[in-house]
């Protein structure tokens, strides 16, 4: 029991051999693309993450609202450790609540909020109120917000400085958008790239491998072209890896990227840089699939699907079809409250805003989508289950271009698809 422990200072011997490169803690990755892995977080990484608040303008006078789980790096390192470094006030909520979010902010005079994944979209999905802009929140720190949600959030809830960032718990490269450029996760900066070298390289999403030239080196992505983000492994920007999992650690290392003998950390994320040097997140490698010789970004398809009045959330992924190359689009969706599935409306939206190769051919309606603790959608099991109606109890629909709507995916249609009697 803590009450029975000594109140005397701990012996210096307990930390005699602790350095900035010593392991401070383990944080499990979300496992959205496989089994969770324990990332080894050093004292140096905790120290660096604690300064993110300072870099975004947070001061000791601010009141910081944390409603994210503390077993992930966003809530614990950026939120909790950052508040300790700043010396500001923490408002800690056990679980995120969209309906009570702004009431909490008003009650505790919150000035800085934290978000991740879909939390801002959840806030924008709540019923509009007259006092939505009556609060003291001036800064929002987080990642993963879509451009249209970003715009709606500012329109509804006021002039809040959005500090969108890109980072990974085990990664050695990150960005922060210090500007008000909607959609960007950062901007190319000479000093940043000098101390933390990185590059975007061409990536074949169908083969899930990097593109290399005749010398065996990776091919740089062109300006405006989506590429795989890799960060050079150096003494200043090391990659520590995963505890007790050397195989997974080595899989994240890329060799001979820019020149022979170099090592880079493979983020597994696809990004692109515009002509004004703003950096944008595109998708995860596992979340981008190839169909009909074209690359399909799942986030873009999900954005279109959620435009339908009947669809609340959409989890888009690619599934294998026997006899076909690549993976065809499928989406698991939940319906909005008191709504019924509107096949005609959904078909009209995907036909109007998406090219034929990107339109999800299969829709799976679920009561809820499986999420991680930080609102990331899990896809591994969905991909494995595919679209066989005999193995799935959820309602399944198939996009029928002749009928210009989504029709019930019956066992007969399924057999016609796998026997290649239906043209995809």
Quick: pLDDT tens for 8-58. Answer: 888 888 888 899 999 999 998 755 455 578 999 999 999 999 999 999 999
Q: What tokens were used for 353?
A: 């805003």
Quick: pLDDT tens for 234-249. Answer: 999 999 999 988 988 9
Sort strands 227-232 and 405-408 into parallel, antiparallel or unpaired.
Answer: unpaired
Cα–Cα distance for residue pair 227/216, rounded to 1 Å: 17
Per-residue confidence (pLDDT) for residue 134, from 0 to 100 = 97
Hey, what domains does the chain have and what are their CATH numbers?
19-170 (3.40.50.12780), 181-290 (2.30.38.10), 292-418 (3.30.300.30)
Quick: pLDDT tens for 318-338. Answer: 998 887 777 899 999 999 988
Low-confidence ranges of the chain (pLDDT < 50): 32
Cα–Cα distance for residue pair 396/50, rounded to 1 Å: 46
**Whether 272 contacts 226, CB under 8 Å:** yes
Buried b (16+ CB within 10 A) or exposed e, 101-122: bbebbeeeebbbbbbbbbbbbb
Per-residue confidence (pLDDT) for residue 1, from 0 to 100 = 67
Per-residue confidence (pLDDT) for residue 35, from 0 to 100 = 59
**Whether 309 contacts 225, CB under 8 Å:** no
Sort strands 288-291 and 294-297 into parallel, antiparallel or unpaired.
Answer: antiparallel
- The pTM of the full predicted model, rounded to 2 decimals, is 0.74
Per-residue confidence (pLDDT) for residue 11, from 0 to 100 = 86
**Whether 76 contacts 46, CB under 8 Å:** no
Spatial CA neighbour of 357 closest among 335, 386, 327: 327
Cα–Cα distance for residue pair 99/126, rounded to 1 Å: 7
Is residue 399 helix, strand or coil?
Answer: strand
Per-residue confidence (pLDDT) for residue 373, from 0 to 100 = 66
Cα–Cα distance for residue pair 286/268, rounded to 1 Å: 8
Non-local (6+) Cβ contacts of 71 within 8 A are 27, 28, 373
Cα–Cα distance for residue pair 40/253, rounded to 1 Å: 15
């Amino acid at each position: 029991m803590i009450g029975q422990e000594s109140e005397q200072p701990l012996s210096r011997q307990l930390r005699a051999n602790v350095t900035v490169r010593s392991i401070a803690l383990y944080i499990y990755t979300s496992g959205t693309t496989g089994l969770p892995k324990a990332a080894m977080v050093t004292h140096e990484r905790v120290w660096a993450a604690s300064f993110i608040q300072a870099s975004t303008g947070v001061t000791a006078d601010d009141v910081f609202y944390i409603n994210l789980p503390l077993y992930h790096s966003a809530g614990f390192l950026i939120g909790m450790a950052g508040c300790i470094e700043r010396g500001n006030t923490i408002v800690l909520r056990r679980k995120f609540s969209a309906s009570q979010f702004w009431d909490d902010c008003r009650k505790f005079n919150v000035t800085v909020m934290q978000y991740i994944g879909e939390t801002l979209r959840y806030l924008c999905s709540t019923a509009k109120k007259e006092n939505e802009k009556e609060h003291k929140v001036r800064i929002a720190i987080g990642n993963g917000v879509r451009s249209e949600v970003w715009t709606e959030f500012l329109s509804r809830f006021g002039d809040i400085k959005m500090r969108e960032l890109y980072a990974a718990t085990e990664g050695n490269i990150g960005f922060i958008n210090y500007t008000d450029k909607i959609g960007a996760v950062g901007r190319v900066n000479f000093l940043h790239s000098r101390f933390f070298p990185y590059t975007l390289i061409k990536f074949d999403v169908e083969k899930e491998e990097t593109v290399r030239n005749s010398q065996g080196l990776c091919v740089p992505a062109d300006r405006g072209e989506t590429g795989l983000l890799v960060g050079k492994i150096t003494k200043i920007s090391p990659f520590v890896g995963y505890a007790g999992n050397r195989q997974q650690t080595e899989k994240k290392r890329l060799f001979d990227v820019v020149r022979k003998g170099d090592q880079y950390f493979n983020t597994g994320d696809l990004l692109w840089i515009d002509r004004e040097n703003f950096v944008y997140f595109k998708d995860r490698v596992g979340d981008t699939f190839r169909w009909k010789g074209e690359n399909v970004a799942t986030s873009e398809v999900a954005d279109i699907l959620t435009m339908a009045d009947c669809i609340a959330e959409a989890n888009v992924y690619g599934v294998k079809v026997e006899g076909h190359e690549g993976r065809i689009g499928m989406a698991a969706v939940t319906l909005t409250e008191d709504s019924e599935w509107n096949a005609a409306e959904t078909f009209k939206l995907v036909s109007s805003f998406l090219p034929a190769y990107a339109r999800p051919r299969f829709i799976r309606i679920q009561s809820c989508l499986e999420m991680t603790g930080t609102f990331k959608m899990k896809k591994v099991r969905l991909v494995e289950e595919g679209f066989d109606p005999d193995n799935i109890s959820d309602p399944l629909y198939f996009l029928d271009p002749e009928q210009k709507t989504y029709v019930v995916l019956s066992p007969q249609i399924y057999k016609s698809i796998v026997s290649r009697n239906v043209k995809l």
